[in-house]
Amino acid sequence: MTVRLNKEALAHARRLLRDGDVVRDERDDWSEHAPGTDEENAFIEKHGMKAFALWHLGEDTDETEGTKGRCRFPYGDFRRLHRCAVIAGESRAGQYDHDSIAKTLKDLLEDIDARD
């Protein structure tokens, strides 16, 4: 699996942070806050795959372009940046040796925490 940083998604996440569209939740909250399959599909139907991809910091280039499988490391719920998603993503990226993604997520988490 080759996962690269989605720079457009990072810019989107940073805009959300700058605008204050952030949920400062706790580490384990992502399992409850993450959009489900039905929410994902409804979002894609309304906004398209390009908009869906903006909510994921990683792009698996081994997966077919324009599919959900290509999008990795979600950071929000299609409305706001979630601290818990960033924490979960950083942990998962580190676990699977996606070092640049893990570093990006760590930096994003530090920026979120610095704005408290």
| Confidence bin at 116 (pLDDT 50/70/90) | low
Angle of CA points 3, 88, 116, to nearest 5°: 120
Q: Single out the residue of 8, 27, 23 nearest to residue 91, CA to CA.
A: 27
Helix (H) or strand (E) holding 82: strand 81-82
Tell me what pLDDT residue 65 has: 93
The reported pLDDT for the residue numbered 32 is 94
How many independent structural domains does the chain possess?
1
pLDDT (tens digit per residue) in 25-51: 988 899 999 999 999 999 999 999 999
Cα–Cα dist 39/25, whole Å = 20
Domain that holds residue 45: 3-114
pLDDT digits (tens, 9 = 90+) for 47-103: 999 999 999 999 999 999 999 999 999 999 999 999 999 999 999 999 999 999 999
pTM: 0.94
